[in-house]
Structure 1
Amino acid sequence: MNRINKKLQEDKKLLSIYFTAGYPSLNDTVDIIEDLEKNGVDMIEIGLPFSDPLADGPTIQKSSSQALKNGMTTAKLFEQLKDIRKTVSIPLVIMGYFNPMLQYGVDAFCARCQEIGIDGLIIPDLPADEYKLHYKETFEKYGLINVFLITPQTSNERIAFIDNMSNGFIYMVSSASVTGSQSGFGDEQTKYFKRISDMHLKSPQIIGFGINSEETFNQAAKYTKGAIIGSAFIKYITENGIDNIGAFTSKIKP
């Protein structure tokens, strides 16, 4: 069974952390992953930096720009991760835009992910229909879960289609804004969380965008399997470095 599915079966609310590979420094990637696991994180999303990250707010955009300046590439990331399964056992997901994967070659990219021990991919700009038509077979051949995103604007019909296609979890974007642009959840978002919860989808949901504290984590996890933190973590390592990651995670899940 894929590590993501094993993790989803655990009787707990899951904390997933996103960070940009190659940031703050080019060779920080593996240290950050190992420290996050040691500090109780359940799953990690490794951001593959891209020059035109449409869904990302300024914090993640800046980290992507810096990572690219540092020399991060798809090939470099795979080289850094080649021995990651000797030290890390939690699910690892690569999150990135489709262009670098196309440039690398989708089959070659997926094959390398399987070799290294990557469990899934999140590709915000790959539509579910396109995936189903052209790439589903390749992902499944290499044992990779493709994680689809939904937003408050996604219709129930579309959500049902995505749920039917999913073999892991659904990434529930908390709002229509870019990452890192919120400070909490209001009534509108709570209604959205409840609406999706009441649909009783077969796939568990994990909420991302706007999670930055124990309070917002608990708000999100009340209706779903857990939450994803990205911008708040990147802000933390920008300001504090990577030597005391536990000080960040302990504030989210004491």
Structure 2
Amino acid sequence: MNRLQQLFQKQQKDLLSIYYTAGYPNLGDTLKIAETLEQNGANFLEIGFPYSDPVADGPVIQASSKQALDGGMTLHLLFEQLKDLRQKVTIPILLMGYVNVVLQYGVEEFCKKCREVGVDGCIIPDLPMYEYEELYQPVFEKYELSNIFLVTPQTSEERIRKIDALSNAFIYLVSSSATTGSNLALSTQSSDYFKRIADMELKNPFMIGFGISDKATYDSANKYASGAIIGSAFVKNLKQDDLEGSIKEFMVQFSV
């Protein structure tokens, strides 16, 4: 089992995952942010590799991606930055980004590099499920990478069950159909959606993301899921001139 699978075997409640963009706010901050987040209580991390056309992302993540790209961030550089990852960080790490970047890099080479640096899995929202199953699943399994699928309020039960069968760590439950950074409004509709997924008794646990911004929305998500994923609110809080201080300031609200 990879670190991600081990984590979910050991703990299935109150998990906190943080997303941030590689190369933001400064090009060389990627590993330092991971270290500081682990020291301040994050259970696992999602490191975004930036792309020039991030269609699922809201303005905060889009702006961080543009700044990182303008600063020189590439997938090649990210893997170089992560070469000492496992000397400094012990919690599970996922890479998150768009399929075009992975295809340009080469799927097998990408998976191989993930394994070499100690990455445990990937979230590639625009990778079609059938392409993964027919073309790439053997490659991901060869390098012991978990591929994380997204479920939205519009996803059919048939597709959710198919995703559950293809998954081996957790399922990413998108809180709404909005882009990242939208505030989670815990309406009756969203509560019914979360409960509907929970009642399906899937073999994989699920994490709720999109719109989780603070302790209140994190706690609300935890009523239904194994935990929550915070991205835009964290990225927005990062201060270029006080990186560690701004991370600690953000994470203190989640400390018990």
Quick check: 11-20 or 117-126, which moved more?
A: 11-20
Distance 1:102 1:173 in 2: 24
Deviation at 1:251, TM superposition (A): 1.2
Partner SS for 1:228? strand
Which residue of structure 1 lines up, in the alignment, with residue 180 of structure 2?
A: 179
Judge conservation of contact 2:25–2:240 (CA < 8 Å) in 1: no
Q: Alpha carbons of 1:240 and 1:229: their partners in 2 closer, same or farther (altered >3 Å)? A: farther
Structure-2 residue corresponding to 1:18: 19
Question: Where in structure 1 do 4 or more consecutive aligned residues deviate above 6 Å?
Answer: none
The yes-or-no answer on 1:204 pairing with 2:205 is yes
Q: Distance in 2 between matches of 1:87 and 1:47?
A: 19
Question: C-alpha displacement at 1:241, in angstroms?
Answer: 4.0
- The 8 Å contact of residues 214 and 253 in structure 1, kept in 2 or not, is answered as no
Between the aligned residues of both structures, percent identity stands at 55
Residues 95 and 202 (structure 1), Cα distance of their counterparts in 2 relative to 1, 3 Å cut: same
User: 1:127, CA displacement in angstroms?
Assistant: 1.3
Structure 1: gaps (5+ residues): none
* Residue aligning to 1:218: 219
- Using the TM superposition, give the Cα deviation of residue 240 of structure 1 relative to its aligned residue in structure 2, in angstroms: 7.3
Give the AA of the match of 1:249: M
Q: Answer with 5-14 or 16-25: which moved more.
A: 5-14
Q: What is the SS of the residue equivalent to 2:236?
A: helix
In the TM superposition, residue 234 of structure 1 has moved relative to its aligned partner by 0.5
Per-residue CA deviation, residues 169-222 of structure 1 (Å, 9 max, x unaligned), is: 000000000000125322111111100000000000000001011111011111
Q: Does 1:116 align with 2:113?
A: no
Matched, 1:5 2:5: yes
Shift of 1:249: 1.1
Is the 8 Å Cα contact of residues 122 and 146 (structure 1) preserved in structure 2?
yes
Query: Which digits, 9 at most, give the CA deviation of each residue in 1:8-49, with x for residues without a partner?
Result: 123341100000000000001011000000001000000000
- 1:157 equivalent to 2:145? Answer no
Distance in 1 separating the partners of 2:54 and 2:255: 29
SS of alignment partner, residue 178 of structure 1 = coil
Q: After the TM superposition, which of the residue ranges 202-211 and 176-185 deviates more from structure 2?
A: 176-185
Measure, in 2, the Cα distance between the counterparts of 1:122 and 1:175: 17
C-alpha deviation, 1:253, in angstroms: 4.1
Query: What TM-score results when the alignment is normalised by the length of structure 2?
Result: 0.97
Query: TM-score, normalization: structure 1?
Result: 0.97
**Aligned letter for 1:9?**
Q
- In the alignment, is the contact (CA less than 8 A) between 2:175 and 2:184 conserved in 1? no
Aligned residues: 254
**Is contact 1:18-1:228 (8 Å) kept?**
yes
Letter in 2 for 1:250: V
How far apart are the structure 1 equivalents of 2:101 and 2:242? 28
Q: Secondary structure at the match of 2:6?
A: helix
> Unpaired runs of 5+ in structure 2?
none
CA contact (8 A) 1:184 1:211 kept: no
Q: Are 1:28 and 2:29 counterparts?
A: yes
Separation in structure 2 between the aligned mates of residue 181 and residue 16 of structure 1, nearest angstrom:
17
- RMSD of Structure 2 on Structure 1 (CA): 1.2
Q: Tell me the secondary structure at the aligned position of residue 17 of structure 1.
A: strand
